[in-house]
């Protein structure tokens, strides 16, 4: 934590919670449970539970070790209650009521930190004890910001399937301060092979081994079975330092076989095909290094918004209060302008007849000045919007592709990390150029762009959800988006909140994915922040086998 004289900072520590369950009761008739753990926090000064984290679902397992960790800041001076709920998942539905509840437990973060390893008996919703447990291991993470990139393979592994070879996968465990092992990573399953090569993966060093290159790691190789009862092929122990040795190769040992067979040698080998330990960066590293955030606002001026002179119109201007478009602009642009040094924002309109001849346009500047289309700050954006309402005729249709392509052309010339572009689209209706919009988004996905869509009004926004590729990558005609660049939020979701905090919640949700999308772009393109690039960084360790 930085030393800043004349200031006050609450001491905190980053804590990693590893979760596992033991003895879960099954609700599935013909198979075991498919458990998932949900963590809730109670914000300081509030008496309500807010969802904080969900693990992955572990298929057919009554005693799951979850790979996904809970990362949380521990503050000594606060009582930080935590609620954990276990569910047997029956589908991919995010609504927890669609799944079977298996048990719950509450505890404070302070209690978890004090005991480090905690075996907590689950209860039902009425507080009755169940015969199953949630095991939580709490460890403080170091400040190490490096990450491991690792690719491993197997060679001549034991054949475990009667009618085939094996379906091998790896589980990697780290030794904790309590002397127990906790799961840190599970590879993909490679079907029907004795010589698998698993996918390359990235993991922070502090999660992998708590930043301790000599910490014991246990790597276990299993043959996957659909029943969830996976067969042990073998295991070995090493360290991150050991994995980093050139041509690192490890004998996979099955302890039971070794005891029974005098001539037993091993159950195959596990080889390190590629390992790299590299410095990682944060969103702020880039911003502090000079990367600017450029925001363009695009406003829907189609007739479905209603006649602007009618108080029921979404574009009705009332000097006493902001309409929904104005509230959305204020919430988002007022935050983004802090990251834009000149605070100049181009504002586009689409779907209106514009002066002087009343032609329909899906890409016009709201201030009607093509030579200088920028508006200064959020106030300038709002002033240009209000002035424009009286100059255009709302018309249609609702086409997104022109404004997306407009910003993409600009971003095309700024791919080196000096700038990142946000397109904020405010709309009330159904997209009428969906194929063209999808194509535009896919083309823009390789550029430094994030697209935020805010749905205004009560229309059906199902198509917007399709563009927000949280459930799978966007693709068309066999071409897939390079990354997810779209975030959709419905403005009406915030109408019932206290007005004093509604705009804060809207801005938080609207901008939530931008740092990740930003970092994805920088990482994919190998761009490092300018300030950090000029500083001394941790030397990279790289071991690549040339086949």
Quick one: 248 and 185 in the same domain? yes
Closest among 214, 233, 212, 215 to 224, alpha carbons compared = 233
Angle 401-411/434-444 helices, nearest 10 degrees? 10
Quick one: 36 and 158 in the same domain? no
DSSP state of 319: T
Residue 2 maps to a domain: no
Residue 258 CA: distances (Å) to CA of 63, 167, 223, 382: 26, 22, 18, 75
Residue 389 maps to a domain: yes
Domain with 100 in it: what CATH number? Answer: 2.60.40.150
Quick one: 117 and 150 in the same domain? no
Domain with 504 in it: what CATH number? Answer: 3.40.50.410
Residue 324 CA: distances (Å) to CA of 283, 299, 306, 484: 30, 12, 13, 27
Residue 531 maps to a domain: no
Domain count, the chain: 3
Residue 543 maps to a domain: no
Quick one: 275 and 362 in the same domain? no
Quick one: 340 and 385 in the same domain? yes
Domain boundary among 106, 121, 140: 140
DSSP state of 33: -
CB 476: neighbour CB atoms within 10 A?
13
pLDDT of residue 228: 85
Angle 324-336/499-511 helices, nearest 10 degrees? 60
- Output the CA torsion sign for 455, 456, 457, 459: negative
Quick one: 366 and 334 in the same domain? yes
- The whole-angstrom separation of Cα 290 and Cα 339 is 10
Quick one: 150 and 269 in the same domain? yes
- The whole-angstrom separation of Cα 293 and Cα 283 is 11
- The whole-angstrom separation of Cα 85 and Cα 123 is 10
Q: Which two tokens stand for residue 272?
A: 């390190």
Residue 317 CA: distances (Å) to CA of 222, 307, 323, 385: 65, 11, 7, 10
Q: What is the pLDDT along the chain (547 residues), one digit of tens a residue?
A: 454 454 444 456 788 999 999 999 866 556 788 999 999 998 877 788 999 999 999 999 999 999 999 999 887 667 889 999 999 998 888 889 989 999 999 999 988 987 778 999 999 999 999 999 999 999 887 667 789 999 999 999 999 877 789 999 999 999 998 889 999 999 999 999 999 999 999 999 989 998 899 999 999 999 999 888 899 999 999 999 999 999 999 999 999 999 988 889 999 999 999 999 988 887 878 887 888 889 999 999 999 999 999 999 999 999 889 998 998 899 888 888 877 778 899 999 999 999 999 999 999 999 999 999 999 999 999 999 999 999 999 999 999 999 999 999 999 998 899 999 999 999 997 899 999 999 999 999 999 999 999 999 887 777 777 787 655 678 898 899 999 999 988 888 877 777 667 777 787 788 888 888 999 999 899 898 885 433 433 334 444 433 2
Kindly give the residue spans of alpha helices, DSSP state H, lying in 225-299. 240-243, 255-260, 283-288
Count how many residues are written for the chain: 547
Buried b / exposed e along 93-130 (16+ C-beta atoms within 10 A) = eeeeeebeebbbbebebbbbbeeebbebebeeeeeeeb
Closest among 315, 444, 298, 319 to 375, alpha carbons compared = 298
Quick one: 105 and 122 in the same domain? yes
Residue 402 maps to a domain: yes
| Structural domain range at position 518 | 284-524
Residue 17 maps to a domain: yes
Residue 538 maps to a domain: no
Q: Which two tokens stand for residue 35?
A: 């458990």
Q: Which two tokens stand for residue 428?
A: 């009330």
- The whole-angstrom separation of Cα 368 and Cα 349 is 10
First CA to last CA distance, the chain: 44
Quick one: 272 and 150 in the same domain? yes
Cα within 13 Å of Cα(185), Cβ side: 24
Under a CB-based contact definition with an 8 Å cutoff, are residues 365 and 355 in contact?
no
Under a CB-based contact definition with an 8 Å cutoff, are residues 263 and 499 in contact?
no
Q: Which two tokens stand for residue 533?
A: 């690039």
Domain boundary among 243, 259, 279: 279
CB 455: neighbour CB atoms within 10 A?
25
pLDDT of residue 541: 42
Quick one: 201 and 186 in the same domain? yes
Quick one: 224 and 333 in the same domain? no
Residue 141 CA: distances (Å) to CA of 12, 71, 204, 469, 534: 11, 9, 11, 32, 27
Quick one: 273 and 289 in the same domain? no
Under a CB-based contact definition with an 8 Å cutoff, are residues 13 and 73 in contact?
yes
- The whole-angstrom separation of Cα 494 and Cα 332 is 14
Residue 8 maps to a domain: no
Query: Three-state SS for 79?
Result: coil
């Amino acid at each position: 934590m930085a030393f800043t004289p004349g200031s006050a900072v609450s001491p905190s520590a980053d804590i990693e919670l590893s979760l596992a369950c033991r003895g879960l009761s099954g609700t599935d008739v013909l198979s075991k449970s498919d458990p998932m753990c949900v963590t809730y926090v109670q914000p300081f000064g509030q008496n309500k539970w807010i969802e904080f984290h969900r693990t992955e679902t572990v298929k057919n397992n009554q005693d799951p070790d979850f790979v996904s960790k809970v990362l949380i800041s521990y503050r000594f001076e606060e009582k930080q209650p935590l609620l954990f709920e276990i569910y047997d998942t029956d589908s991919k539905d995010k609504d927890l009521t669609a799944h079977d509840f298996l048990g719950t437990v509450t505890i404070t973060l302070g209690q978890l930190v004090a005991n480090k390893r905690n075996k907590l008996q689950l209860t039902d919703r009425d507080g009755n004890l169940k015969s199953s447990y949630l095991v939580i291991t709490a460890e403080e993470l170091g400040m190490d910001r490096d990450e491991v990139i690792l690719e491993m393979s197997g060679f001549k592994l034991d054949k475990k399937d009667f009618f085939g070879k094996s379906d091998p996968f790896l589980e990697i465990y780290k030794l904790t301060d309590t002397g127990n092992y906790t799961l840190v990573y599970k590879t993909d399953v490679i079907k029907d092979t004795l010589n698998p090569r698993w996918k390359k993966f990235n993991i922070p060093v502090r999660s992998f081994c708590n930043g301790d290159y000599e910490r014991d790691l246990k790597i276990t190789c299993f043959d996957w079975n659909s029943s969830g009862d996976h067969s042990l092929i073998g295991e070995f122990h090493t360290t991150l330092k050991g994995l980093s040795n050139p041509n690192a190769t490890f004998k996979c040992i099955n302890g039971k076989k070794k005891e029974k067979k005098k001539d037993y040698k091993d159950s195959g080998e596990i080889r390190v095909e590629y390992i790299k330990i590299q410095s990682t960066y944060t969103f702020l590293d880039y911003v502090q290094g000079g990367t600017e955030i450029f925001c363009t606002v695009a406003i829907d001026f189609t007739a479905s918004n209603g006649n602007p002179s009618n108080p029921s119109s979404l574009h009705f201007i009332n000097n006493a209060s902001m309409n929904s478009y104005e509230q959305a602009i204020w919430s988002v642009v007022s935050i983004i302008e802090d990251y834009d040094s000149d605070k100049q924002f181009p504002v586009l309109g689409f779907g209106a007849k514009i002066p002087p001849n009343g032609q329909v346009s899906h890409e016009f500047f709201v201030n009607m000045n093509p030579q200088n289309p920028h508006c200064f700050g959020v106030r300038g954006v709002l002033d240009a919007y209000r002035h424009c309402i009286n100059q255009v005729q709302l018309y249609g249709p609702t086409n997104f592709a022109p404004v997306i392509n407009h910003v993409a052309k600009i971003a095309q010339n700024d791919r080196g990390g000096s700038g990142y572009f946000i397109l904020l689209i405010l709309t009330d209706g159904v997209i009428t150029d969906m194929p063209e919009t999808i194509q535009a988004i896919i083309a823009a996905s390789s550029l430094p762009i994030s697209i935020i869509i805010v749905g205004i009004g009560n229309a059906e926004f199902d198509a917007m959800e399709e563009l927000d590729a949280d459930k799978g990558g966007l693709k068309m005609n066999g071409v897939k988006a390079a990354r997810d660049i779209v975030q959709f939020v419905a403005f009406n979701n915030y109408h019932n909140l206290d007005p004093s905090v509604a705009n804060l919640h809207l801005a938080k949700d609207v901008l939530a994915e931008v740092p990740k999308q930003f970092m994805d772009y920088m990482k994919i393109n190998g761009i490092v922040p300018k300030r950090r690039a000029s500083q001394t960084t941790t030397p990279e360790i790289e071991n690549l086998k040339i086949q």
